[in-house]
Structure 1
Amino acid sequence: MLPSSIFETETGRKRGAASTTVGTALRNAILGGTLPAGLALPQSELAEGFGTSIIPVREALKRLEAEGLVTFMPNRGAMVTGMTEDDIIEYSEIRASLEEMAARHAVGRMSRVDLARIEDAYEAFVNGTNANPTQHGLGDLNRAFHNAIYAAAQRPRLLEMIDDLHVRLTRYIRSHLELEGRKDLTDIEHEAIMQACRKRDAEEVARLTRQHILDAAAISVRVIRERREG
């Protein structure tokens, strides 16, 4: 049986009727770990839980399939998609290349307003996590810092691809932030990226961004492996 918490909408109301509501609730539950990889998602149970017909549920699941969060298995229906360690590393390498490119383009176009937004996002990650210490909250604040940089690139298709990879990977890559001392190290890495932005050093921002992503991915894979083996 699926956890009842997934049938709560963002506004606190139960029994959403639209496929958008169903999709948002399932996406949040998958990314937040409430629905783990390999869990079956029976359409009839989802329809009953959300108080809707099968059609909006199917539409929502198809969108989540396109995002890489749900897989349709022959004769088994939909289930939450999982990733192997090799998948995580490969996707992270692609993500690092794309974000390196976005960072390089961003510095060349960066205005004072853009830099102020980056500084605000940096401060939010450093200070805001004390009030929102969950792994999910840390992940969102971390993503907001990087997005503040990439927004200056003005490359919407590139940013769309980065966002797609982030959605696919976020369940796995943010686990490194819960390790003791990792948050402090991330603050240092973010500050180095921000200082390079202030100096308008595009190559340094790109290099630091790539290394930051690959280091986090490697640590996350190690955490996943240790949990599985321990």
Structure 2
Amino acid sequence: MSALEPRPPVSKAEYVYNTLLDDIRNARIPGGTALRAGEVARRLGVSVTPVREALRRLEKDRLIRYEAHHGATVVDLGEEALAEYYGLRAVVEGLGARLAAARVTAGELAELRELHAAMVEDAARGRNDRLGEQSLRFHLRIVDIGGPAFLGAHARAVRNSVPVPAEASLWLARDQVQAQLDAHEGILAALASGDGDAAERVMIEHVRHAGAFRART
């Protein structure tokens, strides 16, 4: 679909789901918050029906749970859940990097290098607020290259399962940025040389470092 072609309209349930998902992932709705269908419907200007459908999807995503006498409540994740989250990310994204090393094309490698170069420039100009989203694109693109049939979807499911507030990103910590850019460079070098072992190892270490940083903040 080109940029000039009209996009299909988003359903009300999809709109509610995407709005709540973004609010939860960015901690605008913190863990432990009760989500009342009627209140959400009034805030978003929709009926209760699409809100209930969206809440069912969020329950499947394990981002909310239903409690007696409380209704839907945003899951409040503790240290063990965060450790599991980053452990899962390390496994899935590490495997994606290993597989990508064996199948990445010159065009795909150029795409990844272009994204990395944009991150380096933004970091040099102090635009750290852009780096988290760019890093997400970098990681998911690698997984998509390595495992287009299944891994890409799994990586996104894992990423969506735990809210990571934008302000908690290690990319906002100036003393962390260069080490993370160096890790990306190491991953790119391993992909370019077809070294799956190195690509997986660097990716796993990179993700685990992010987890350790999050646990300290």
Is the TM value for this pair above 0.5? Answer: yes
Match of 2:140 among 142, 147, 165: 147
Q: 2:52 matched to which residue of 1?
A: 58
Cα distance change, pair 143–71 in 1 and its aligned pair in 2 (3 A): same
User: Does 2:154 correspond to 1:161?
Assistant: yes
Q: Name the aligned partner's letter for residue 73 of structure 2.
A: M
Shifted more, 146-155 versus 37-46: the winner is 146-155
SS class of match (1:78)? strand
Match of 1:177 among 150, 171, 174: 171
Aligned residues: 206
Q: Distance in 2 between matches of 1:187 and 1:143?
A: 13
Q: 1:5 matched to which residue of 2?
A: none
Shifted more, 167-176 versus 147-156: the winner is 167-176
Q: Distance in 1 between matches of 2:55 and 2:142?
A: 32
1:131 positional shift: 7.7
Where does the alignment leave 5 or more consecutive residues of structure 1 unmatched?
1-15, 224-230
SS class of match (2:162)? helix
Q: How does 1:210-221 map to 2 (within 5 A)?
A: 210-221=204-215
Using the size of structure 2 for normalisation, the TM-score is 0.87
Shifted more, 140-149 versus 176-185: the winner is 176-185
Cα distance change, pair 41–132 in 1 and its aligned pair in 2 (3 A): farther
Q: Distance in 2 between matches of 1:128 and 1:67?
A: 33
1:180 positional shift: 3.0
Q: How does 1:193-208 map to 2 (within 5 A)?
A: 193-208=187-202
- Residue deviations 1:134-186 (CA, integer Å, cap 9, x gap): 3xx43211111112222222432122111111112351695322223111221
Contact 2:100 / 2:191 at 8 angstroms: preserved in 1?
Answer: no
Shifted more, 68-77 versus 204-213: the winner is 68-77
- Residue deviations 1:38-84 (CA, integer Å, cap 9, x gap): 11111111111122211100101111122222222222011221211
Using the size of structure 1 for normalisation, the TM-score is 0.82
Q: 2:104 matched to which residue of 1?
A: 110
Q: Distance in 1 between matches of 2:202 and 2:175?
A: 19
Match of 1:22 among 16, 27, 30: 16
Contact 2:170 / 2:214 at 8 angstroms: preserved in 1?
Answer: yes
Cα distance change, pair 177–186 in 1 and its aligned pair in 2 (3 A): same
Q: 1:40 matched to which residue of 2?
A: 34
Q: Distance in 2 between matches of 1:219 and 1:126?
A: 21
Q: Distance in 1 between matches of 2:110 and 2:104?
A: 10
Where does the alignment leave 5 or more consecutive residues of structure 2 unmatched?
1-9
1:101 positional shift: 1.2
1:18 positional shift: 0.6
Structure 1 runs (4+) greater than 6 angstroms displaced: none
Q: Larger RCO: Structure 1 or Structure 2 (Cα < 8 Å, ≥ 6 residues apart)? A: 2
Aligned residues: CA RMSD: 2.0
